[in-house]
């Protein structure tokens, strides 16, 4: 399988759509409206059709069977193709990573964590954790990812789960002025040492400025387990991963939700 197992590089590659959206100045899609509908859409309908044709709607094999997602699976053509044949930026959004699974499961099982609160899903990917927050009663949600194709995938996944799409920010939020959030969630983001350092500093500032609660999902990657952020973490819950997720993630067997308390 060419795509999912081979992705180890940081998420710093964006396709031509990101340049178009930056030049337009439209990076935040407000009011829960789908930003790719109607006149002036920034995503060609052909891209939407491409994603629908080359992903599978599934809710199996993960910790959250309540959530349907468009993902790359063994029944998809590009699962078997060489990774360089994928015509857009690396589709990290097309895999339901184990840290995100743990966060989503935790929010679904513990809706009081988000009910009536504002939630930022940092590095949202497929949008599953933001969707779990929405299902659990969050009052305000922002999904953030640097890849505009992820934004389209998040919107499609909202529709699959009969949810109105929430705002999506397509930009590196670490470079922006911080906003106030009751909760920040991030899964599988500690895969690169430099990014881990930047995240650590950004999360500390967020915590001390706004007393924001921070929940991190991770399956025990060495870049996370060996990072100094470990001194500021409290284990909330650990989940056993289902066999399909274990196979897709080099045999990782569990995923944990951590509470960041600097």
Q: Which CATH number does the domain housing residue 231 bear?
A: 3.40.50.150
Q: Is residue 4 part of a domain?
A: no
Number of domains in the chain: 1
From first CA to last CA, the distance across the chain in angstroms is: 40
Question: Can you read off the two tokens belonging to residue 43?
Answer: 């995503």
Q: Is residue 162 part of a domain?
A: yes
Residue owning tokens 């991190």: 216
Which structural domain, as residue segments, surrounds residue 156?
A: 45-260
pTM for the whole structure: 0.84
Q: List, in sequence order, every residue forming a beta bridge with 120; answer none if it has no partner.
A: 142, 184
pLDDT in tens, 197-219: 999 999 999 999 999 999 999 99
pLDDT in tens, 91-122: 899 999 999 999 999 999 999 999 999 999 99
pLDDT in tens, 221-244: 999 999 999 999 999 999 999 999
pLDDT top residue among 222 and 15: 222
Q: Is residue 251 part of a domain?
A: yes
pLDDT in tens, 133-157: 999 999 999 999 999 999 999 999 9
Q: Is residue 59 part of a domain?
A: yes
CB 130 within 8 A of CB 166: yes
């Amino acid at each position: 399988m060419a795509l999912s197992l081979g992705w180890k590089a940081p998420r710093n590659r964006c396709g031509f759509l990101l340049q178009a959206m930056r030049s337009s100045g439209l990076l935040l899609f407000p009011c829960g409206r789908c930003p790719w509908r109607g006149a002036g859409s920034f995503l060609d309908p052909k891209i939407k059709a491409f994603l629908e044709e080359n992903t599978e709607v599934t809710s199996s094999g993960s910790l959250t069977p309540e959530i349907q997602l468009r993902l790359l699976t063994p029944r998809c053509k590009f699962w078997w193709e060489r990774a360089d044949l994928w015509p857009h930026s690396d589709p990290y959004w097309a895999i339901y990573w184990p840290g995100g699974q743990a966060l989503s499961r935790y929010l679904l099982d513990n809706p009081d964590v988000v009910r009536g609160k504002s939630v930022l899903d940092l590095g949202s990917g497929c949008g599953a954790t933001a969707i779990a927050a929405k299902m659990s009663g969050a009052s305000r949600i922002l999904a953030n990812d640097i890849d505009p194709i992820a934004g389209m995938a998040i919107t499609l996944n909202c529709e699959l789960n009969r949810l109105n799409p929430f705002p999506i920010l397509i930009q590196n939020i670490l470079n922006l002025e911080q906003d106030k959030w009751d909760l920040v969630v991030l899964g599988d983001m500690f895969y690169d040492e430099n990014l881990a350092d930047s995240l650590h500093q950004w999360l500390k500032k967020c915590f001390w400025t706004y007393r924001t609660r921070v929940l991190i999902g991770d399956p025990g990657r060495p870049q996370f387990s060996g990072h100094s952020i470990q001194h500021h973490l409290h284990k909330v819950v650990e989940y056993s991963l289902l066999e399909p997720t274990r196979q897709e993630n080099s045999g990782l067997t569990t995923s944990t939700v951590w509470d960041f308390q600097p």
